[in-house]
């Protein structure tokens, strides 16, 4: 069957592809430790699961408003007020099938052919593909490792032109775990004020996963005069261990939100009514479990860092948020594994690590930064120790 040029030009998500490959190997009985997909190993908290069960028992299994139930949007409205001192009306909020869908909808609803979107690199794998599918041009801005891979005001200004309509900011970042400080966001806002035609998508999906007394702030919070130009996207997948529930939410400019709702109404319609009921419990209920989870993530971050940094000389920075290490492996590229396999690039590095040592990670080139790999440490301590030992064994055989 003939397929469109547009879909043929889109690359599959490498994190999804590699995750699927790892699951296939596991189904064949292979001993695989899956550190590729960004998914917590914790189960969704009981009070959230019970809210979903209660909703089903009460018959809340029907269509909802495309934009989400009024109850959930009220809770999201209060959540923005309590967490970030941001005031939105309910018609400025939309609920979707994960944060990914909302970013996709925003880009599809706003980009005309040839318009440009600035994406700091390393980036989450889907951003450039989404922009391209929307007939836009992704402008990939290489951000220096000595600035924790964050875009600077100078870099931002140097890549702006008349075609620029969006900047995408992801903090804490995937794959790097970098967190933009209040001062850094204020300095970026100074540049953005000179270009009133540029809007910003703030992907805050990891906002609750922060370490070392770091504070999370979002752009609309520190630059309220830009609030109408900022789409703030968040969701429940990462912080609440609700990846399979598929609930994200976004708040912003009313005309953009309406356009996103229109698009969603012609594609998926509403997010799952049952998942929305669970989301109400998640956002309005106790979050005490997060303290325990963050403590465990923090320990796992330090554990994996201490085991691996001896063998990766450029692995010096611990992430301030999210649950990934982004590890420089370029010292092993161009060398030979086990006297027979040449490691040409980070893709080969990850391929051989999976094939010969059963550890699944993602090559940095998938995130626009070759010579690195991403490791998710939101896994059990037992698996992490075993995986790190295997990684160290693997690199010991590279000459």
Same domain, residue pair 262 and 326: no
253, 279: one domain? yes
Q: What domain range is 152 assigned to?
A: 48-284
Residues 91 and 211 in one domain: yes
> pLDDT value at position 338?
86
Residues 323 and 184 in one domain: no
**Based on the domain organization, do 259 and 322 belong to the same domain?**
no
Both 272 and 388 in a single domain? no
On whether both 299 and 215 belong to a single domain, the answer is no
The count of structural domains within the chain is: 2
What's the confidence (pLDDT) of residue 13?
72
Task: Decide which of 232, 251, 284 is a domain's last residue.
Answer: 284
Based on the domain organization, do 250 and 302 belong to the same domain? no
The b-or-e profile of 293-305 (16+ CB within 10 A means b, else e) is: bbebbbebbeebb
Taking the C-alpha atoms of residue 262 and residue 281, their distance in angstroms, rounded to an integer, is: 27
Q: Would you give per-residue pLDDT tens digits along the chain (399 residues)? A: 999 988 888 877 777 777 777 788 888 888 999 999 899 999 999 999 999 999 999 999 999 999 999 999 999 999 999 999 999 999 999 999 999 999 999 999 999 999 999 999 999 999 999 999 999 999 999 999 999 999 999 999 999 999 999 999 999 999 999 999 999 999 999 999 999 999 999 999 999 999 998 899 999 999 999 999 999 999 999 999 999 999 999 999 999 999 999 999 999 999 999 999 999 999 999 999 999 999 999 999 999 999 999 899 888 889 999 999 999 999 999 999 988 899 999 999 999 999 999 999 999 999 999 999 999 999 999 999 999 999 999 999 999
Question: What is the per-residue pLDDT for 254?
Answer: 98
Domain final residue, candidates 242, 267, 284: 284
- Residue 59 CA to residue 265 CA, distance in Å, equals 23
| For residue 172, cis peptide bond before it (omega within 30 degrees of 0) | yes
Q: Are residues 154 and 208 in the same domain?
A: yes
Same-domain check for residues 54 and 72? yes
Whose tokens are 């995937």? That residue is: 174
In the prediction, which pLDDT does 21 show?
78
Looking up residue 299, the CATH number of its domain turns out to be 3.90.1150.10
Burial degree of 159 (CB within 10 A; 0-12, 13-18, 19+): middle
Q: Report the CATH number that the domain containing residue 139 is assigned in CATH.
A: 3.40.640.10
Nearest partner of 236 among 254, 222, 249, judged by Cα: 249
Q: What is the reported pLDDT for 8?
A: 87
> Which two structure tokens, joined as six digits, stand for 116?
């440009």
3-state DSSP assignment of residue 186: helix
Please provide the DSSP assignment of 33-47 as one string: EE-SS---SSPPPHH
Q: What is the pTM of this model?
A: 0.95
> Do 350 and 358 touch, CB atoms closer than 8 A?
no
What is the rounded distance in angstroms from the CA atom of residue 177 to the CA atom of residue 326?
8
Q: Tell which of 236, 261, 284 closes a domain.
A: 284
Whether residues 271 and 138 share a domain: the answer is: yes
Do 258 and 332 sit in the same domain of this protein?
Answer: no
């Amino acid at each position: 069957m003939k397929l469109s040029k547009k879909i043929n030009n889109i690359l599959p998500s490498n994190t999804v592809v590699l995750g699927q490959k790892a699951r296939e190997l596991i189904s064949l009985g292979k001993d695989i430790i899956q550190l590729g997909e960004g998914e917590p190993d914790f189960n969704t908290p009981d009070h959230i699961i019970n809210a979903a069960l209660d909703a089903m028992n009460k018959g809340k299994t029907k269509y909802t408003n495309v934009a989400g139930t009024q109850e959930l949007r009220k809770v999201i409205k209060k959540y923005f007020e309590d967490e970030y001192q941001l005031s939105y009306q309910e018609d400025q909020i939309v609920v979707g099938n994960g944060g990914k869908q909302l970013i996709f909808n925003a880009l599809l609803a706003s980009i005309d052919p040839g318009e440009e979107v600035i994406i700091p690199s390393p980036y989450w794998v889907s951003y450039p593909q989404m922009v391209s599918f929307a007939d836009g041009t992704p402008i990939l801005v290489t951000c220096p490792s000595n600035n924790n891979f964050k875009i600077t005001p100078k870099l931002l200004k140097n890549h702006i032109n008349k075609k620029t309509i969006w900047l995408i900011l992801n903090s804490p970042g995937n794959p790097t775990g970098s967190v933009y400080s209040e001062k850094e966001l204020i300095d970026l806002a100074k540049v953005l004020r000179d270009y009133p035609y540029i809007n910003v998508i703030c992907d805050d999906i990891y906002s609750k996963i922060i370490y070392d007394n770091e504070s999370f702030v979002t752009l609309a919070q520190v630059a309220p005069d830009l609030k109408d130009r900022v789409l703030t996207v968040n969701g429940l997948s990462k912080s609440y261990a609700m990846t399979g529930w598929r609930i994200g939410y976004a708040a912003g400019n009313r005309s953009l939100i309406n356009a996103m709702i229109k698009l969603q109404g012609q594609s998926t319609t509403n997010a799952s009514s049952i998942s929305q009921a669970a989301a109400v419990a998640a956002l309005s209920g106790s979050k005490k479990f997060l303290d325990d989870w963050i403590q465990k993530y923090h320990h796992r971050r330090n554990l994996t860092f201490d085991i691996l940094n001896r063998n990766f000389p450029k692995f010096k920075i611990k992430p301030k948020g999210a649950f990934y290490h982004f590890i420089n492996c370029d010292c092993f590229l161009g060398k030979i594994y086990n006297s027979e396999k040449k490691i040409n690039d980070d893709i080969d590095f990850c391929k051989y690590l999976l094939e010969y040592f059963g550890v699944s990670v993602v090559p940095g080139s998938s995130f626009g930064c070759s010579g690195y790999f991403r490791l998710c440490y939101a896994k059990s301590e037992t698996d992490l120790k075993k995986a790190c030992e295997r990684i160290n064994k693997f690199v010991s055989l590279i000459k």
